[in-house]
């Protein structure tokens, strides 16, 4: 059985907002599970229900083998790190970290031992006497994590713990959280709206939208095999391009017809698309699967197309090309060394073996 299980969990707030809708999630022991989704999709609500800070409207939550629906927060073996850290302003770092243990009646020597251990892990031993206002954002974040670690809980819950930090510190703390998980091997459920954070931290990732989980999978499986258009567009940066068109059949071969260009459907995708001949659908292709024709040899002409290059954005080793046809716009990601000139037509190649197709009405992945 999973360490944490949510079974058909629904949350409707008293004002009528349905924040979570029949959500199912199983988090394994020692797993680092990331819940990712756009603002307002219900992530914090899910964590607060696991922590016992919100009641469920329907469904069941198990922690370990216990049904905890009616268990008060303090009796659940979980520790939560909040987005705003929620440190006590009048207590110093040591007192902040030990406070939860003190409340639970731990003996002073045990509190001291645990706080010192956690401080050493987080490298904050030298600032134990300071109050929160005397700390940087990164240090506060560490204290908030320290306060959770000393509890030695069965499960850690993190609610966007890095969102108040600047970009450099975020990257650094991300690595530290990774290290922390390798060291403690405790089950962690980590909430973020940042897909990069999700991809780099998660053993598995659950993608949420509108109160539901759309797909739970290994990071690379989400990237390679998204089950629908929302997941496809959420993972990856710049995001996957979506191009509207239809499937046409010519001499037994299938083509995706955008209106101003056609590209041939790969053999592997052919069977799944037979039912879509002359029907509208959406092609999904990632920026990294589009190439400048000049740098690809042996391309069958049916995989190439012309588009107008409006803008070239260089971001170091890679450049993003903003391209346009009469009907659609899309982005290609190419090595910066290739330097195509902007404001002109260019010939491109779609790697159709990497293309995805989505049902126009449901957003479901066809292939
Ligand atoms: N106490 C509350 N009462 C009523 N509605 C609420 C309450 N808390 C949250 N909501 C609503 O529930 C929905 C989900 O909110 P939640 O805070 O779980 O989203 P989130 O995914 O954590 O968003 P963010 O990324 O912005 O933190 C939102 O529509 C929000 O407005
Ligand atoms: Mg939130």
Nearest atom within ligand 1 for CA of residue 11 = 12
Q: Is 39 in the pocket of ligand 1 (CB under 6 A)?
A: yes
Q: Is 211 in the pocket of ligand 1 (CB under 6 A)?
A: no
Percent of the chain exceeding pLDDT 90 equals 85
**What is the CA(41)–ligand 1 centre distance, in A?**
7
pTM of the model: 0.93
Nearest atom within ligand 1 for CA of residue 193 = 25
Q: Is 45 in the pocket of ligand 1 (CB under 6 A)?
A: yes
Nearest atom within ligand 1 for CA of residue 160 = 27
Q: Which protein residue's CA is at the shortest distance from atom 18 of ligand 1? A: 42
Which residues have CB atoms below 5 A from the ion given as ligand 2? Answer: 44
Q: Is 43 in the pocket of ligand 1 (CB under 6 A)?
A: yes
Closest residue by Cα to residue 339 from 317, 365, 306, 363: 317
Per-residue pLDDT reduced to its tens digit, 85-130: 889 999 999 999 999 999 999 999 999 999 999 999 888 999 999 9
Per-residue pLDDT reduced to its tens digit, 35-47: 999 999 999 999 9
What average pLDDT does range 180-190 have in this prediction? 93
Q: Is 209 in the pocket of ligand 1 (CB under 6 A)?
A: no
Q: What is the 3-state secondary structure (H, E, C) of 54-77?
A: CCCCEEEEEECCEECCCCCHHHCC
Task: Give burial (CB, 10 Å; 0-12/13-18/19+) of 171.
Answer: middle
Q: Kindly give, in sequence order, each residue whose CB lies less than 8 Å from that of residue 129, ignoring residues fewer than 6 positions away.
A: 92, 93, 94
What average pLDDT does range 327-336 have in this prediction? 97
**What is the CA(206)–ligand 2 centre distance, in A?**
15
**Domains of the chain listed by start with CATH number:** 4-231 (3.40.50.300), 241-359 (2.40.50.140)
What average pLDDT does range 52-62 have in this prediction? 97
Nearest atom within ligand 1 for CA of residue 41 = 21
**What is the CA(45)–ligand 1 centre distance, in A?**
6
**What is the CA(5)–ligand 1 centre distance, in A?**
21
Q: Is 44 in the pocket of ligand 1 (CB under 6 A)?
A: yes
Residue 1 or 20, more confident: 20
Closest residue by Cα to residue 337 from 317, 320, 321, 311: 317
Per-residue pLDDT reduced to its tens digit, 221-235: 999 999 999 999 999
Per-residue pLDDT reduced to its tens digit, 237-279: 999 999 999 999 999 999 999 999 999 999 999 999 999 999 9
Per-residue pLDDT reduced to its tens digit, 146-182: 999 999 999 999 999 888 778 888 888 899 899 999 9
Nearest atom within ligand 1 for CA of residue 211 = 14
Q: Which protein residue's CA is at the shortest distance from atom 3 of ligand 1? A: 13
Q: Kindly give, in sequence order, each residue whose CB lies less than 8 Å from that of residue 33, ignoring residues fewer than 6 positions away.
A: 25, 27, 187, 188, 189, 190, 202, 203, 204, 205, 206
């Amino acid at each position: 059985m999973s360490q944490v299980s949510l079974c058909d969990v629904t949350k409707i707030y008293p004002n009528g907002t349905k924040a979570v809708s029949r959500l199912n999630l199983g988090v394994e022991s020692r797993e680092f599970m990331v819940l990712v989704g756009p603002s307002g999709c219900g992530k914090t609500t899910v964590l607060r229900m696991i922590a016992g800070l919100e009641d469920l409207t329907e469904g069941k939550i198990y922690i370990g083998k216990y049904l905890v629906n009616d268990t008060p927060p303090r009796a659940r073996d979980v520790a939560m790190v909040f987005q705003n850290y929620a440190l006590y302003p009048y207590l110093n770092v040591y007192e902040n970290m030990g406070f939860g243990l003190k409340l639970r009646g731990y003996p002073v020597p045990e509190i001291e031992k645990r706080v010192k251990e956690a401080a050493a892990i987080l490298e904050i031993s030298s600032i134990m006497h300071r109050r929160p206002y005397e700390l940087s954002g990164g240090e506060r974040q560490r204290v908030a994590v320290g306060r959770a670690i000393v509890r030695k809980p069965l499960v850690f819950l993190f609610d966007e713990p890095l969102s108040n930090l600047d970009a450099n510190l975020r990257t650094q703390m991300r690595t530290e959280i990774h290290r922390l998980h390798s060291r403690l091997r405790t089950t962690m459920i980590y909430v973020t709206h940042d897909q990069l954070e999700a991809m780099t931290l998660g053993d598995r990732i659950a993608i949420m939208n509108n109160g539901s989980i759309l797909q739970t999978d290994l990071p690379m499986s989400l990237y390679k095999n998204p089950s629908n258009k929302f997941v496809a567009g959420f993972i990856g940066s710049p995001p996957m391009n979506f191009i509207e068109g239809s499937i046409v059949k010519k001499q037994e071969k299938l083509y995706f017809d955008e209106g101003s260009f056609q590209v041939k459907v790969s053999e592997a995708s052919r069977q799944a698309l037979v039912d879509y001949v002359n029907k509208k659908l959406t092609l999904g292709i990632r920026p990294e699967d589009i190439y400048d024709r000049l740098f690809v040899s042996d391309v069958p002409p049916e995989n190439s197309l012309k588009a107008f290059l409006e803008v070239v954005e260089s971001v170091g080793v890679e450049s993003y090309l903003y391209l346009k046809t009469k009907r659609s716009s899309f982005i290609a990601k190419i090595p910066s060394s290739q330097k195509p000139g902007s404001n002109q037509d260019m010939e491109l190649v779609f790697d159709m073996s990497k293309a995805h197709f989505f049902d126009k009405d449901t957003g479901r992945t066809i292939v």
